[in-house]
């Protein structure tokens, strides 16, 4: 009898762990509806996924406020009505890169490491004065950046392997009357680190979504890799 109970608990634990790693659809704020008290969102029609891995001791792109910051640069060639960004660590077991996704060399080299993860903390910033793709390579490193949004923990995101809701999600709706949140054509960057000061280590999946197709979007960890198409 004890063996049966123990086996049942083990199966339950495995089931809970697998469930925690499942990443659902990413829906927009635009056209959001409430049906019987439940929020219903239409999934973003344009989605870009980036699979990455931060190795122990990796040099950050910047140390800001005592935190080791890493950046993913995004060229947005047209104005967007809304942009959503979410990040989960580690990459869920059920998620595998496709040939349309961006995959870092470190992720490929460490694909077997499914246990390392970090408490994600993300920002979205826009470069001041960069409105032409040909200016990205020469101006990105010295540009000033305007912070648009920041997120630490999101209740919408799956829990991490320890059971904590420490993954991140944010949605930004363009506000024409507010220059800070006007999603115009230009260079953006997704910054990520941990909530607590310390090392960032493990795999992650970052996704950027929009409710309309944004043709010509480019993603790179080195802004020099963003080219005129």
Q: Which helix (H) or strand (E) holds 62?
A: strand 62-64
C-alpha–C-alpha distance, residues 5 and 60, integer Å = 47
The closest alpha carbon to 119, from 172, 162, 63, 79, belongs to: 162
- What residue numbers bound the domain in which 154 lies? 2-225
Where the chain has pLDDT below 50, the residues are 1-20
Question: What's the pTM value of the predicted model, to 2 decimals?
Answer: 0.87
Beta strands at 46-54 and 102-103: parallel, antiparallel or unpaired: parallel
Q: What is the CA angle 181-187-188, rounded to 5?
A: 55
Per-residue model confidence (pLDDT) at position 15: 37
CATH code of 125's domain: 2.60.120.380
Structurally, the chain folds into a number of domains equal to 1
Per-residue model confidence (pLDDT) at position 65: 87
pLDDT tens across 36-59, in order? Answer: 778 889 999 999 999 999 998 899
């Amino acid at each position: 009898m004890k063996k049966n109970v123990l086996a049942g608990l083990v199966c339950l634990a495995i089931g809970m762990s697998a469930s925690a790693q499942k990443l659902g659809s990413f829906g927009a704020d635009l056209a959001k509806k409430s049906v019987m008290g439940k929020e219903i969102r239409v999934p973003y029609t344009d989605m870009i996924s980036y699979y990455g891995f931060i190795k122990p001791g990796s040099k950050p792109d910047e140390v800001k406020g005592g935190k080791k910051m890493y950046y993913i640069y995004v060229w947005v060639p047209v104005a967007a009505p809304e942009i959503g960004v979410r990040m989960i660590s580690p990459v869920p077991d059920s998620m595998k890169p496709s040939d349309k996704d961006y995959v870092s060399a470190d992720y490929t080299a460490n694909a077997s490491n499914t246990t390392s993860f970090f408490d994600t903390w993300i920002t979205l910033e826009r470069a001041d004065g960069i409105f032409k793709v040909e200016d990205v390579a020469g101006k990105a490193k010295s540009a000033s950046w305007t912070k648009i949004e920041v997120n630490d923990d999101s209740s919408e995101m799956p829990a991490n392997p320890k059971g904590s809701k420490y993954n991140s999600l944010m949605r930004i709706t363009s506000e024409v009357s507010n220059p800070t949140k006007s999603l115009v054509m230009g260079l953006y960057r997704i910054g990520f680190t941990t909530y607590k000061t310390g090392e960032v280590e493990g795999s992650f999946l970052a996704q950027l979504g929009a409710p309309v197709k944004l043709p010509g979007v480019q993603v790179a960890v080195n802004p020099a890799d963003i080219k005129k198409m």
